[in-house]
Amino acid sequence: MIGLISDIHGNYSALSSVLRTLDMLDVSDIMCLGDVAGYYCQINECCDALRVRNIPVLLGNHDFYLTRNVPCPRSNSANRCLDHQRQVIREDNFNWLAAQQSQARWHEISVVHGGWNDPLDEYLVPSSQYFLPLDGSVFASGHTHVQLTWEGEGKKYCNPGSVGQPRDGNPAAAFAIWDGERFSTRRIAYDIKSVHQAMADAGFPRYFSENLETGSMIGGGVVPAAL
């Protein structure tokens, strides 16, 4: 079995819980579909946890913003945390994150952070029309923070959802499993209070992490499954 994770966003507590669960499931490999950076403050802890396991990682849009020193065009909250992460990230972690690619083929799965039209920043809605022109039969991407699977016309697709900031109304950290034939989605509760504390210690008000209690965007708002 293969584990798929995405959109960690500096949430080390959620990442730790997901990795422990994947260990208990005895997966053979884990792939991260991008966005280690952004939103929460423990960027070094998250990078270290991935690097020590040699988990392959795609470059997400927030990783791009961080390492290319450009702002997120949609979120002042994200930019405030990205500014903090640029100040605290170690050079080795910065260089490692900057070197990642946004698209790859991993085992038999075509993987990308956003979508196959825009690897960094496409909010993909799966359909036969979308996937039929693409080479391959198994696909996975992140970016939307909404967990789902889709099948049609001989194609299979999975968005494992977000480890660090679910936006589908379920606060549990999201991930997925590929067993060689089908995707299955999973959720695991984690210690959200430790994220509140880490953010407070880094100088952020509760506004930046209270959304984790409801599985929503910062400031509120749930993304529907159909996007």
What percent of the chain has pLDDT above 70? 99
Residue 226: is its pLDDT beyond 60?
Answer: no
Domain assignment present for 44: yes
CATH classification of the domain holding 166: 3.60.21.10
Domain assignment present for 143: no
Structural domain that includes position 61: 2-101+160-212
Domain assignment present for 19: yes
Return d(Cα 14, Cα 160) in angstroms, integer. Answer: 14
Domain assignment present for 122: no
* Residue 58 DSSP label: P
Show Cβ contacts of residue 205 under 8 Å, excluding neighbours closer than 6 positions.
none
pLDDT for res 23: 95
Residue 55: is its pLDDT beyond 70?
Answer: yes
Residue 174 near residue 160 (C-beta atoms within 8 A): yes
Domain assignment present for 149: no
pLDDT for res 225: 62
Residue 49, token pair as written in the block: 């946890």
Pairing label, strands 138-141, 109-112: parallel
Global pTM value:
0.96
Domain assignment present for 110: no
Domain assignment present for 221: no
Domain assignment present for 190: yes
Structural domains in the chain (count): 1
Tell me the per-residue pLDDT of 127-173, one tens digit each, with 9 for 90 and over: 999 999 999 999 999 999 999 999 999 999 999 999 999 999 999 99
Show Cβ contacts of residue 94 under 8 Å, excluding neighbours closer than 6 positions.
66, 67
pLDDT for res 24: 95
How many beta carbons lie within 10 A of that of residue 39, not counting itself?
30
* Mean pLDDT, residues 79-99: 97
| Phi/psi at 21 (5° precision) | -65, -40
Please tell me the least confidently modeled range out of 7-21, 89-103, 174-188, 212-226: 212-226
Return d(Cα 55, Cα 225) in angstroms, integer. Answer: 28
Beta strands in the chain (DSSP E): 2-5, 29-32, 103-106, 109-112, 138-141, 148-152, 155-159, 173-178, 183-188
